[in-house]
Amino acid sequence: MVDTSVALSGIRLDNPVIPASGTFGYGAEFAELYDINCLGTFSFKGTTLSPRFGNPTPRIAETPGGMLNAVGLQNPGVEKVIAEELPRLREIFRKPVMANVSGFSIDEYVQTCALLDKEEQVGWLEVNISCPNVHGGGMAFGSSPEAAAEVTRAVKAATKKPVYMKLSPNVTDIAAVARACQDAGADGVSLINTLLAMRIDLKTKRPLLANGTGGLSGPAVFPVAVRMVYQVYEAVDIPIIGMGGVSSAEDVIEMMLAGAAAVEVGAANLVSPFVCRDIIRDLPEAMKKYGINSLTEIIGGAHHG
Amino acid sequence: MTQGIYRIEYNRRLTADVWEMRLTGDTGAVTAPGQFINIKLEGLFLRRPISICDWDGEGITIIYKVVGRGTAALSGAEPGQDLDVLCGLGNGFDVSKCGERTVVIGGGVGVPPMYGLAKALQKAGKTPIAVLGFNKKEEIFYEDQFRALGIETTVTTVDGSYGVKGFVTDALRSSYDYFCACGPLPMLKAVYNATATSGLLSFEERMGCGFGACMGCSCKTKYGNKRICKDGPVLEKEEIIW
Ligand SMILES: Cc1cc2nc3c(=O)[nH]c(=O)nc-3n(C[C@H](O)[C@H](O)[C@H](O)COP(=O)(O)OP(=O)(O)OC[C@H]3O[C@@H](n4cnc5c(N)ncnc54)[C@H](O)[C@@H]3O)c2cc1C
Ligand SMILES: Cc1cc2nc3c(=O)[nH]c(=O)nc-3n(C[C@H](O)[C@H](O)[C@H](O)COP(=O)(O)O)c2cc1C
Ligand code: FES
């Protein structure tokens, strides 16, 4: 028997597979398809203090090997999430969930995290300082080590839950931002969010997305994500949640060898709704194939020797 | 919703760029006319949403227009080939809301879902009438299929090369007590303004998933925010905000 379990800040996960924020809603759509209790956990839709409709449509465009999105953090707001989504979630998911939080000011991050801190089912806070699709906030906080550290410190003071800072790949030195988060008290980092990108419609000769730019994700970004996880692993001692283009058990293993303690799966859920269930099913076989007995033992394996 | 493998039974040209494809496979997830399927195609990341035109216990008929890489690839697919399909997506038309004499209005590739709807209305004991709008005579398809149902059918062409000259709204003369419409946005808007009765309209949006997970297809309505793919594509006239 191979061991697929991992741990994130003292909470054990049966396996490292975590559907990524924004691609899994609050779980309900997928619970209609399969028993989502098979997941390690999942990261729910980016939640903000106030309700948000998000950006105008079109919000989605196709790219070679992936997609652009400019959803713009559409969510019902933290109070409704607590009042309506979390009770519904309790019915379909028995495990601790990862609460993904966004904000437009430090104060908003703090207030939202403080409210979620009281929720028993929330295991971890994943603080998104890297959304490329909103103005005046989001990615701005993840763009400099100083701003990232400031959000980290403020959020850490507002919660007892482990805090994972979600980092942007749209920076010159992601390792420096990760280190700043660690120094400011982050329990972990998660990366990467989407890469700032654009498509132009040849018929209208205008950007395809109403927002102009969007975030690129899917298999196309996988090698970029592996490289960044590898670099961040060299720079910090806290756990890394790796993501970006993961769509198979082999990808999970590769991401963990680069340094990820757990792995999120995003865009793949949208086109293959059963992909996380299938990855979890395929992991033991893939581990045997590569002579791996325990996934925990391979974290950062590519750095040794 | 289900994910399944569907075999292409036939794939034939109806007009210069519109094709009809019959897929055999599980149709258990189809609950209403106007729902759609989402098709995975080799080498393309996102699935392609196409309305269910007709269905029975053995399979589904779709009609699609070639407009880009995905639909071009679909038109090249051969009978016997398998397709990975998400089936039974969206709310579809609620037949119980429709009147005894509902006019079903389709424009271009908005016509296909109206065929399954017309059949469902008949099955429910109602007497639908059909108005089908096209640009010109060469682009007309499915007129005979609608007539074969024994339905009063009016065809309009913008250039007057066949049927009533003008838009679908120019053919809304016959008395009706409810309407259902699917077609390009300008047509839906014109129908919305030209109709005196209540009705249902089916919308399109660029989609990430097609089953409600990504918030890629959201719109605002008087009843709150909705996802075209999951809470739609069919919306009530009364809730629409243009
Ligand atoms: C609910 C729904 C039902 C539909 N039913 C039908 C139908 O019955 N028959 C038919 O011919 N067409 C239908 N369409 C439109 C059809 O989805 C697009 O024509 C098709 O996706 C184009 O793909 P492509 O690769 O050929 O074009 P490309 O332009 O190369 O596609 C690029 C991307 O844009 C998306 N896209 C392009 N046009 C549209 C569009 N109009 N709506 C949504 N996404 C689009 C594609 O899905 C793809 O992700 C429907 C759309 C929706 C949303
Ligand atoms: C449609 C969509 C919505 C997303 N929404 C969020 C979000 O609300 N919060 C967040 O932190 N990341 C969000 N992301 C980013 C993903 O969580 C993930 O970091 C990124 O897509 C890379 O992983 P992938 O290549 O597997 O998709 C979103 C991604 C997509 C495709
Ligand atoms: S396309 Fe994903 S929610 Fe509608």
For position A45, what pLDDT does the model report? 97
Asked if A234 has any chain B CB less than 8 Å from its own CB, the reply is: no
Q: How far is CA A23 from the centre of its chain?
A: 10
Do A57 and B230 make contact, defined as CB atoms within 8 angstroms? no
- Interval between CA B42 and ligand 2 midpoint (Å): 23
Which residues in chain B are contacts of A67 at CB distance < 8 A?
A: 45-46, 208
Mean predicted confidence (pLDDT) in A156-175 = 97
Domain residue extents for chain A: 6-303
Please tell me the distance from the alpha carbon of residue B231 to that of residue B79, in angstroms, as a whole number: 33
With residue A48 as reference, give the H or E element that holds it: none
- Interval between CA A63 and ligand 1 midpoint (Å): 15
Asked if A69 has any chain B CB less than 8 Å from its own CB, the reply is: yes
CB of B225 shorter than 6 A to ligand 3: no
Q: How far is B25 from chain A (nearest CA, A)?
A: 18
Which residues in chain A are contacts of B230 at CB distance < 8 A?
A: 29
Which residues in chain B are contacts of A45 at CB distance < 8 A?
A: 215
For position A89, what pLDDT does the model report? 97
Contact residues, B window 39-58, toward A, CB-based 8 Å cutoff:
40, 44-47
Do A273 and B3 make contact, defined as CB atoms within 8 angstroms? yes
- Residue A135 — pLDDT band, cuts 50, 70, 90? low
Do B46 and A62 make contact, defined as CB atoms within 8 angstroms? yes
- Residue A194 — pLDDT band, cuts 50, 70, 90? very high
Size of interface A-B (CB pairs under 8 A): 89
Write out the catalytic residue numbers of A: 131
The shortest CB-CB distance from B206 to any of A23, A59, A273 is to A59
Which residues in chain B are contacts of A88 at CB distance < 8 A?
A: none
Domains and CATH numbers, chain B: 2-89 (2.40.30.10), 95-202 (3.40.50.80)
Q: Whose CA is nearest to atom 41 of ligand 1?
A: B204
Asked if B236 has any chain A CB less than 8 Å from its own CB, the reply is: no
Mean predicted confidence (pLDDT) in A178-183 = 98
> Could you say which architecture CATH assigns to the domain A6-303?
Alpha-Beta Barrel (3.20)
- ipTM value of the model? 0.95
The shortest CB-CB distance from A57 to any of B205, B212, B230 is to B205
For position A138, what pLDDT does the model report? 64
- pLDDT tens for each residue of B115-155: 999 999 999 999 999 999 999 999 999 999 999 999 999 99
Buried b (16+ CB within 10 A) or exposed e, A183-212: ebebbbbbbbbbbbbbbeeeeeeebbbebe
Which residues in chain A are contacts of B208 at CB distance < 8 A?
A: 59-60, 67, 69, 267, 270
* pLDDT score of A136 more than 90: no
CB A243 within 8 A of CB A262: no
Per-chain mean pLDDT for chain A: 96
Q: Which of A270, A275, A276 to mutate to test the interface with B (most CBs of B within 10 A)?
A: A270
Nearest chain B residue to A66, by CA: B45
Do A273 and B44 make contact, defined as CB atoms within 8 angstroms? no
Please tell me the distance from the alpha carbon of residue B155 to that of residue B164, in angstroms, as a whole number: 6
Q: Whose CA is nearest to atom 43 of ligand 1?
A: B206
* pLDDT score of A305 more than 70: no
DSSP B59-94: EEEEEEE--SHHHHHHHT--TT-EEEEEEEES----
CB of B216 shorter than 6 A to ligand 3: yes
Could you tell me where the DSSP H helices lie in chain A? 28-31, 78-80, 86-92, 106-117, 145-156, 174-183, 222-235, 249-258, 268-271, 275-289, 295-298
CB of A244 shorter than 6 A to ligand 2: yes
- Residue B173 — pLDDT band, cuts 50, 70, 90? confident
Question: How buried is B194 (Cβ within 10 angstroms: 0-12 exposed, 13-18 middle, 19+ buried)?
Answer: middle
- Interval between CA B215 and ligand 3 midpoint (Å): 5
Nearest chain A residue to B221, by CA: A53
- pLDDT tens for each residue of A78-107: 999 999 999 999 999 999 999 999 999 999
Please tell me the distance from the alpha carbon of residue B83 to that of residue A132, in angstroms, as a whole number: 35
Mean predicted confidence (pLDDT) in B43-53 = 98
* pLDDT score of A250 more than 80: yes
Asked if B214 has any chain A CB less than 8 Å from its own CB, the reply is: yes
